[in-house]
Amino acid sequence: MFNKLNKVLKRYHEINEILSDNAIYSNKSLYTEITKEFSSIKDISETYIKYKKVNEELEENKILIEDEDEEIREMAKEEVKDLEKEKFKLEERLKILLIPKDPNDEKNVLLEIRAGTGGDESAIFAGDLFKMYSYFAEKHNWKIDIVSSSSSDMGGYKEIIANIKGDKVYSYLKYEAGVHRVQRVPETESQGRVHTSACTVAIMPEAEDVDIVLEDKELKIDVYRSSGPGGQSVNTTDSAIRVTHLPTNTVVICQDEKSQLKNKQKALRVLKTRLYQKKLDEQNAKIAAARKSQVGTGDRSERIRTYNYPQGRFTDHRIGLTLYKLDYIMAGDLEDIVVALRTHYETLAMSNTEE
């Protein structure tokens, strides 16, 4: 571990020297590359510097424990206790920081919420989940752009797809993927019985042009007139777009914009992201075959959450986390959940690395 840390710290000092030379600012591409690298090692380097300082102070105080002056000996003993605690905390932090970073953490995401079992109530809950993520996005100053949606007659969505852009969006939301279950009395229930419904949530890192390249010969693009609920025409122009990726038979439809060009741009962005996710899933499947624990992939086939309205209870079944503040959570207060999930999966990754 310390060999890695010393190499990182050496590079940290090298970059500091490079950035102190004004000549670097004349080369924009090199400056961007260097500052990006600096940002990636800054936290771990500064934590290691602090660790080394604490370790030096600890060794000095251990010597003072043998001092002839009793008062100095007692003070040194107290210092040693505090410094050993601090050293342990920094060691644990360094272990986490040494875990290989997920290359997708910095990316924007494509959020897809689909109603599942439960009919109209499931669609209403899909709308509630979308509001929850929208509130959370607002707290982080992220931008949400609805790509496509299919409304339900009773409210909510049969399906909604949105692009979320901002700082490290995927790192926050990547553990949200899976089946979300709700237990509550539906508005349509006349006898006050609690029903159970479910929605699926997919979180996909948005593909960049360098991740997926689409060739014209691989695409079939159909144009038709947009329609709303009940089949009525939304506008009088052929602005809706259906893009089919022929090699994989992946189909994306976009009709929310009045502009054909904007719909096409959105559809292609969604297509790239879905193909990128497929590529990631294939890579993760190979990793899973080689080891028992597949960390941080968010298996969408299993129930991950229960939102129990009568009890005001939220439960994440993966980590056994239960919170009795459902109103706050549905209003976008997801920080405690995000931190708990991140800590859990970082600990798993750390134990796998040590193995």
Q: What string of H, E and C letters represents the secondary structure of 237-251? A: CCCEEEEEECCCCEE
**Neighbour count for residue 90 (Cβ, 10 Å):** 18
Whole-number pLDDT of residue 354: 53
User: Residue 126, Cα to own-chain centre: how many angstroms?
Assistant: 19
Classify residue 292: in a domain, yes or no. no
Same domain, 20 and 145: no
Has residue 264 got a pLDDT over 50? yes
Give the model's pLDDT for residue 316.
Answer: 95
What is the per-residue pLDDT for 294? 31
Residues 89 and 113 in one domain: no
Domain residue limits at 188: 109-210+300-354
Question: Residue 251 sits in a domain of what CATH number?
Answer: 3.30.160.20
pLDDT at residue 307 tops 90: yes
Same domain as 181, residue 305: yes
Residue 81 lies in a domain: yes
Does the pLDDT value for residue 229 go beyond 60? no
CA distance 243 to 263: 10
For residues 338-352, average pLDDT: 80
Q: pTM of this prediction?
A: 0.64
User: Are 197 and 232 contained in the same domain?
Assistant: no
Residue 288 lies in a domain: no
Total of domains in the chain: 3
C-alpha to C-alpha distance for 315 and 319, rounded to whole angstroms: 9
Same domain, 224 and 153: no
Q: What is the pLDDT of residue 28?
A: 83
Q: What is the pLDDT of residue 164?
A: 94
The answer to whether residue 188 scores a pLDDT higher than 70 is no
| Rounded-to-integer distance, Cα 34 and Cα 67, Å | 48
Q: What is the distance between the alpha carbons of residues 281 and 203, in angstroms, rounded to a whole number? A: 12
Q: What is the pLDDT of residue 299?
A: 38
Tens of pLDDT, residues 64-121:
888 888 888 888 888 888 999 999 888 888 877 777 777 788 888 989 999 988 888 9
Instruction: For residues 84 and 51, give the distance between their C-alpha atoms in angstroms, rounded to a whole number.
Output: 11
Per-residue confidence (pLDDT) for residue 309, from 0 to 100? 94
Q: Do 206 and 310 share a domain, yes or no? A: yes
113 lies in the same domain as 254: no
Q: How far apart are the first and last CA of the chain?
A: 13
Q: Regarding predicted confidence, which is higher, 223 or 172?
A: 172
Last residue within a domain, chosen from 51, 67, 97: 97
Q: Domain check: are 116 and 86 in the same one?
A: no
Is 118:197 a contact under the CB 8 Å cutoff? yes
CB 173 within 8 A of CB 140: no
**Does residue 232 fall inside a structural domain?**
yes
Give Cα separations from 116 to 18, 31, 129, 303 (angstroms).
Answer: 55, 49, 13, 12
Report in angstroms the alpha-carbon separations of 277 from 108, 145, 156, 196, 259: 13, 19, 26, 30, 27
Q: Indicate which CATH number applies to the domain containing 172.
A: 3.30.70.1660
Of the pLDDT bands very low, low, confident and very high (cuts 50, 70, 90), residue 290 is very low
Whole-number pLDDT of residue 297: 36
pLDDT above 90: percentage of residues in the chain: 28
Q: Which residues of 14-41 are buried (b: 16+ CB within 10 A; e: fewer)?
A: ebeebeeeeeeeeeeeeeeebeeebeeb
% the chain with pLDDT above 70? 87
Whether residue 258 sits in one domain with residue 141: no
Q: What is the pLDDT of residue 21?
A: 83
> Where does a domain end: 283, 314, 340?
283
83 falls within a domain: yes
Same domain, 127 and 158: yes
Other C-beta atoms lying within 10 Å of the C-beta of residue 209: 8
DSSP conformational letter for 152: -
Any domain includes 337: yes
Any idea which of 136-140, 213-217, 258-262, 284-288 has the lowest mean pLDDT?
284-288
Q: Could you tell me if 124 and 87 lie in one domain?
A: no
163, 110 contact by CB (below 8 A): yes
**Per DSSP, what are the bridge partners of residue 244?**
220, 251
For 324, residues 6+ apart whose C-beta sits below 8 A from its C-beta are 311, 312, 313, 314
Higher pLDDT, 302 or 13: 13
Packing angle, helices 70-97 and 28-64, rounded to 10? 150
Q: Which tokens belong to 272? A: 């790239």
pLDDT digits (tens, 9 = 90+) for 37-74: 888 888 889 998 999 998 899 998 888 888 888 888 88
In a domain, 309, yes or no: yes
Secondary structure of 281-347 as H, E, C letters: HHHHHHHHHHCCCCCCCCCCCCEEEEEECCCCEEEECCCCEEECCHHHHHCCCCHHHHHHHHHHHHH
Same domain, 117 and 203: yes
- For 59-63, 256-260, 300-304, 334-338, which range has the lowest pLDDT when averaged over its residues? 300-304
CATH number of the domain enclosing 35: 1.20.58
**Comparison of pLDDT for 332 and 12, the residue scoring more:** 332
Average pLDDT over the chain, rounded to an integer? 83
Instruction: Assign 136 a pLDDT band (cuts: 50, 70, 90).
Output: very high
Position 146 in a domain: yes
Domain termination site, one of 75, 97, 119: 97
